[in-house]
Every structure is written in structure tokens, then in C-alpha cells.
Amino acid sequence: MSRALWKKAIRAAWLQLLVSSLLLILFGWTFVWLMGMFKLGAWSGFLKMLPDFTRRMLGTPVAQLATPEGQISVLYVHVVTILLCLGWAIGRGSDAISGEISRGTMDLTMSLPVRRTSVLLIPAVVAALGAVILAASVLLGNWLGLVLARPGENLSVDTFLPGAVNLAALTFALTGITAFVSSWNRSRWRAISIVVGFYIASLIVQMVSRVWQPGAWLGYLSFLSAYEPQRLILDHEQTWSLSLWYNGTLLGLGLIGYFAAAVIFSHRDIPSAY
């Protein structure tokens, strides 16, 4: 029966993973190429023209952003990158429990000789592997852009590896959080709405903590404070110590979310579909 669950989880996820990966590779390649068309002096001048409010919101010193590495590091916080990874995390995290209940297939799955933990664990492994593949796709697009569009700048893709790892950790954390919300919901769309609202609230708290200096402590209330790919890419002196802290926090949140989801799902009744 475990083999059937693996086939089911892969069949439900492979198309989204394939499309998202291809889009991230293409976008990463195009982004690096387009940023290479901006002269470094013009890019630096643009950053210096930004008001202090906007610069604080960026969360990265202008001196670090005004470098070739700083230009490309924007790829890892770009809205396209975040939306594609967010779509994977929320889509996979909400599908395992509330998605099955909404479709009316959970009763059939539970009638098979399988453990409830397996019903959650196998899609979780697929989702985690997908998070790694998506982050690797961004890094691959980054590498293609460096090799094909900016070959003479002596930029190594290894410089951006910490940002890709942080992106994978963020995606996994969101998947675990979504699985937790899904574990006590019968409607997949309700679970998705709750997680999207939580993400937006966390984003607002993070922005306020950056812009409003007396409220810097608010950053500890947002899990997005552990997503700092640009700092990991550009701050070479503290890259690995910060990586352990940031990625450990995000991976821990994802694991806690899945553990809580497993506990709730193991004890809850399975309602009928609408």
C-alpha cells in the first residue's frame, strides 16, 4: 500500500513541480541577463536615489546591493520566485488532508490498510523534495545566466548557493505550516486562505520591524525574519553561522508544523465531503 501512496503523491504533484521548475529556470536566466544590461554605476545611482524609507525596507545595505552579486541577489527575493515557491508550498501542504477531504477521497484512502501517519508522511517527503528541486531550479537559472549572458564578470554560482538553500528552507517551512492548518480543516480553500493571510500578516510585521526602528523587536514575531537570502549571499563573514540560524529556524518550523499535523490528523474524525 505504501507504493500506491507514493504513486498517488507523485502523480498529484509532478505537473506543478515540472511547470514551476521550468518557469524558475527560465526566469532566473532572464533575470540575470536583464540585470547585466544595467551598468553598475547606474544601478548604484538608482539605489542611492531611493528614499530612506525604501532602503530600510530592503533590509540590505546599499553598498552591498550596489555590486554585481547584489544585483543578482534580488532574484532570490523577487515576487516571481516567491510566488512560485509559495504556490508549491501551499498547494502541496493543503492537498494531503483537507484536499483529500474536499474531494471526498479521504474515506477511500482510510479504508485501505495504511497508517494515518503514512498518508501524511509520504506527501510530506514529496513536498520537501520538491522544495529542494525548486530552489535548485532557481540556482540553475542563475548559473545559466552567468555562463551565457555574463561570462566575463568572473561571478561564481557558488556565491548564491546560501540564498538557494534559504529559499528551500522557506518553502519547506511554509509547507509544514500549511499541513498543520490543513490537518484541522475540511475545506482546502479555507486552509489556503488562512495560510495566505498568515503569510501576508508575517510580511507586514517584517516590513514594520525594518522601517520603524523602535519596533525592530517585531521581527521576532515574523517567521520571514529567518528568510534573508541576500544577507547570506552578500555578508561573506557570517554566511555559514547565519545560514545555520536562519535555515535551522525555518526547517524547525516546518518539522513542528508536520508533527502537529500528524498528531491532529491521527486523532480527528474524517468528515464527509460537502
Each residue of 161-198: pLDDT tens digit? 999 999 999 999 999 999 999 999 888 999 999 999 99
User: Which of 128, 100, 94 has the alpha carbon at shortest distance from 112?
Assistant: 100
Band (pLDDT 50/70/90 cuts) for residue 62 is confident
User: Residue 74 pLDDT more than 70?
Assistant: yes
- CB contact at 8 A, 148 and 232: no
Band (pLDDT 50/70/90 cuts) for residue 53 is low
Residue 26 CB neighbour total at 10 angstroms: 13
- What's the rounded mean pLDDT across residues 20-43? 89
Confidence at residue 93, expressed as pLDDT on a 0 to 100 scale:
94
Using a pLDDT cut of 70, give the percent of the chain over it. Answer: 94
Whole-number Å distance between alpha carbons of 102 and 187: 6
Residue 29 CB neighbour total at 10 angstroms: 20
Whole-number Å distance between alpha carbons of 251 and 120: 17
User: Which of 165, 129, 141 has the alpha carbon at shortest distance from 27?
Assistant: 141
Q: Which residue has cell 548559473?
A: 143
Confidence at residue 40, expressed as pLDDT on a 0 to 100 scale:
74
User: Residue 111 pLDDT more than 80?
Assistant: no
Cell triple for 227: 528568510
Cell triple for 171: 518553502
Mean of pLDDT over the chain:
88
Whole-number Å distance between alpha carbons of 120 and 237: 40
Confidence at residue 117, expressed as pLDDT on a 0 to 100 scale:
82
Band (pLDDT 50/70/90 cuts) for residue 272 is low
Q: Which of 30-44, 69-83, 118-132 is least confident? A: 30-44
> Which run of H or of E encompasses 86?
helix 79-94
Whole-number Å distance between alpha carbons of 169 and 20: 17
Q: pTM higher than 0.85, yes or no?
A: yes
Band (pLDDT 50/70/90 cuts) for residue 65 is confident
